[in-house]
Amino acid sequence: MSWHEREHERELEYRAVLAVDIERSAGRGNTALFAIRDVLAAALREALEESGIAWDACLRHDLGDGLRVVAPAGAPKARLVHPLLHELAARLRAHNGRAGDATRVRVRVALHAGDVHVAGDGGVSGWPLEVLARLLDAAPARRALAEAPEALAVAAVLSRHFHDETVRHGYPGIDPEAFTAFTFTAKEHRGEAWLHVPGLPGQPVTDARPPENANGDGTGNAAGNAAAPKTAPAPAHMVNKATGHGVIYATQNGTQHIHPAGDP
């Protein structure tokens, strides 16, 4: 059988995929690392169950300082936004309130969906997992979590495709205004995504919104006209300056300057 024939027979399944990475996990030592991994697994399992998605029905893969979860076929994607993000943040916040410095857990969460190959042994492969990894590693998400108040435990990044199929519709419990669009580059991948920090309001960025013609996989490679900018009244008191790729939210005093990807 030729390579092309084998590929033709390889069945693909549309799945929602989620990845979680623990902030500043390195250097804590084995005892703390084992503890925070257990905390994350328990919090994520409970959050999924509260969202109506059975933990045992998910395909789970250890990322060392995090987890990747492939939801079962047909799982409602919107539930991975709400209530999952809220439930995960609440559980980590409760843990952190009683934990010492070495065992506090704050995480970045990436959400995407697409066609993947699920092997008989539970292994999963496909382009959506590459996109997911780049989302998880996006610099704006790292900065957002690092700059968020310590009480906030989650910074979530959604691909354009995932956002379009969930957040933009305003399903119950999901406030589209709490998500901010940004562009980023990670390794060879240039992507468009949406940032959400549960507990913080979104700050729409008018000159960094993804174009309407984006092809839905987070890559933004299609050609066409850009979306009309989304405007929002300027807050009375804000300050932050951001350069490079990404987005900054703010709650201080002054002005906000955004340089989207590609600007000098």
Q: Give the pLDDT confidence score for residue 189 in this predicted structure.
A: 74
Q: Give the pLDDT confidence score for residue 209 in this predicted structure.
A: 34
Contact present, 83 and 75 (Cβ < 8 Å): no
Structure tokens at 104: 């506090």
Distance CA 225, CA 128 (A): 25
Q: Give the pLDDT confidence score for residue 206 in this predicted structure.
A: 31
Q: How far is CA 131 from CA 34, 42, 60, in A?
A: 28, 26, 17
Q: Give the pLDDT confidence score for residue 202 in this predicted structure.
A: 60
Distance CA 170, CA 15 (A): 21
Question: Which helix (DSSP H) or strand (DSSP E) does residue 249 occupy?
Answer: none
Phi, psi values for residue 147, rounded to 5°: -95, -10
Architecture of 9-229 per CATH?
2-Layer Sandwich (3.30)
Q: Give the pLDDT confidence score for residue 239 in this predicted structure.
A: 35
Contact present, 43 and 35 (Cβ < 8 Å): no
Contact present, 141 and 183 (Cβ < 8 Å): no
Q: Which residue has the tokens 């300056």?
A: 241
Distance CA 134, CA 144 (A): 16
**Which stretches in the chain have pLDDT values below 70?**
1-9, 202-264
Q: Give the pLDDT confidence score for residue 14 in this predicted structure.
A: 98
Q: Give the pLDDT confidence score for residue 70 in this predicted structure.
A: 98
**pLDDT per residue over 34-63, tens digit each?**
999 999 999 999 999 999 999 999 999 999
